Structure 1
Amino acid sequence: MAPPALKNVVNALRSFLRYAQVRGEVSAGLAASVPSVAGWARTPPVPKAISAEHAQQAVDSCDCCSAVGRRDRAVLLLLARLGLRACEIVRLTLDDVDWDCAQLRVRGKGGRQSLLPLPVDVGEAIAAYLQHGRPASPDRHLFLRSLAPIRGLVEGSDAIGTIVRHALDRANADAPHRGSHQFRHALAVRMLQLGASFPEIGQVLRHRSPQSTSVYAKVDVSALRKLAMAWPGGVR
């Protein structure tokens, strides 16, 4: 078993032994004899990002003639162009879009708010959904369910992930996985390839710590190749 799964089993075993101790079926202190699971420190894994080509294929797979297609296209563009998290998209309201200043207010982790520039294609996609796709509803959330009850997408649900999976299936896109976070990783990788600095990437992705951004150094293969030492006895 992997360490995280094994930790769950060990915790459950300790709880069971404490329960058995309360019932008087085992001796006192038996739960303390269950050993802990070693949690070896590891470096963060390499981010798995979808390619720019396949991300665009997923966006283009949306049916712009249907209400659901317009909504899904706007959601995918927010993922691909601004690198928003799924929970941040769910939290968006109609009041968060400043059309005059072309800005979008995003509520991130810990209740922090950020103002991001609204790209033209993202703004056009949101406007198309609001004008020709969004159902009439007193709910102020920007994106609503397409089926009754008509209300905002529920935070903590897999609504955004479902939109991503359906788009990837329609486009038959080759993606590292089926989640929405790969679009966020793709944006960081693309910025890195275009010469953006790590502080600039961290600012766009709204990272609190530079360590969260430094993980993308692993995907800059061309820069890492310059640091690699020659293999002993290899071809010069």
Structure 2
Amino acid sequence: MPTTPLERAVRGWLDHLRVERGMSPHTLRAYERDARRYLTYLDRAGVREPADVTEAHVTGFLAWLREGDEEHPPLAASSAARAVVAVRGWHRFLALEGDVTADVAGAVQPPTPPRRLPKAIPLDQVERLLSAASVGDTPASLRDRALLEVLYGIGARVSEAVGLDVDDVDLGERSVRVLGKGDKERVLPLGSYAAEAVTAYLVRGRPALAAAGKGTPALFLNQRGGRLSRQSAWTVIQHAADRADLAGHVSPHTLRHSFATHLLDGGADVRVVQELLGHASVTTTQIYTMVSVHQLREVFAAAHPRAR
């Protein structure tokens, strides 16, 4: 149980995010880790009450994150930015609730992480990966192929894919109902390859896996008949990547990045891709256009006589 005024204030904020904002458990855990790190810093600074925190404490916390100390290694800009965003959210909440007189973190800007191209793999490598997921005709093999086809076919996050129930898939309409971040629902088209893989799994794979369990509506099941976990989904992809002899790190997000990149390369409008991915802002989606520009430059440099 929270014992100090600062800990109680953090718990109230986290409860607000969970109950009123509907944030996912994964996001809440990340915010709680960042808040705990902030409380450690404030404790060392001799701060005991939320009202005693100043803007200098917030900027000092940011510097501490980037510099580190004997017990805490320095954080990358992206990790420090996430922590500062959490701290800003907490202080804003305290001010809105009237627990403090001012938002002392409002003017503190998080560091800007370097823009990096999302990792995507070419279509031929995607096809190798999908083929490698099907080893024989076992229930697990049918499940693995269906899982990878869904991840790439609709660009789902791994948490969205393993969170699917059987009733979320409409094979007649070839669509999938996905529950994304913030419990926002979106209905996505299911391509023929993914639909065929899911059908094969539902007919010849899932019943055998379900027989080992106590009954669950989950689409993707583990060997005990329960819902497949995010960690198990990662393992499925890693094993398929090893069998496909794909160099480098291949993750569920690799398939999501590839889904978006291949759509944009094929001429899809960025706002359509935004809707498919479930991004709240088109700015997030636009980073995928950097991949296409990079590819265009490569083609230009190799083919145009005046490019060099």
TM band (smaller chain)? 0.7 to 0.9
Q: Is the 8 A contact 2:261 2:289 kept in 1?
A: no
Aligned partner letter, 1:35 = G
Change in CA separation of 1:80 and 1:235 when aligned onto 2, cut-off 3 Å: closer
Structure 1 residues 51-70: aligned runs within 5 Å: 51-61=122-132, 62-70=134-142
Deviation (angstroms), 1:10: 6.7
The answer for the alignment partner of 1:48 in structure 2 is 119
Deviation (angstroms), 1:99: 2.3
Unmatched segments (≥5 aa) in structure 2: 1-33, 64-109, 300-305
Moved over 4 A (4+): 7-13, 222-226
Deviation (angstroms), 1:225: 7.8
Structure 1 residues 146-165: aligned runs within 5 Å: 146=223, 148=224, 150-154=225-229, 157-165=230-238
Deviation (angstroms), 1:84: 0.8
Structure 1 residues 124-203: aligned runs within 5 Å: 124-134=196-206, 135=209, 136=211, 137=213, 138-146=215-223, 148=224, 150-154=225-229, 157-175=230-248, 177-203=249-275
Change in CA separation of 1:212 and 1:54 when aligned onto 2, cut-off 3 Å: same
Change in CA separation of 1:34 and 1:72 when aligned onto 2, cut-off 3 Å: same
Structure 1 residues 1-236: aligned runs within 5 Å: 11=38, 14=41, 17=44, 35-38=60-63, 39-61=110-132, 62-134=134-206, 135=209, 136=211, 137=213, 138-146=215-223, 148=224, 150-154=225-229, 157-175=230-248, 177-220=249-292, 221-223=294-296
Per the normalisation by structure 2, the TM-score is: 0.60
Aligned partner letter, 2:62 = V
Q: Is the 8 A contact 1:54 1:174 kept in 2?
A: no
Q: 1:114-166, CA deviations, whole angstroms, 9 ceiling, x for partnerless residues?
A: 111121111111111111111234211001111x3x21124xx4121111111
Relative to its length, the structure with more helix (as a share) is: 2
Q: Is the 8 A contact 1:46 1:218 kept in 2?
A: yes
The answer for the alignment partner of 2:24 in structure 1 is none
Unmatched segments (≥5 aa) in structure 1: 1-6, 23-28, 227-233
Of all paired residues, the percent bearing the same amino acid is 29
How many residue pairs get matched?
213
Change in CA separation of 1:9 and 1:100 when aligned onto 2, cut-off 3 Å: closer
Q: 1:208-234, CA deviations, whole angstroms, 9 ceiling, x for partnerless residues?
A: 1111111112112255689xxxxxxx9
Deviation (angstroms), 1:88: 0.7
Deviation (angstroms), 1:180: 0.8
Secondary structure of 1:158's aligned partner: helix
Q: 1:186-229, CA deviations, whole angstroms, 9 ceiling, x for partnerless residues?
A: 11111121122211221221221111111112112255689xxx
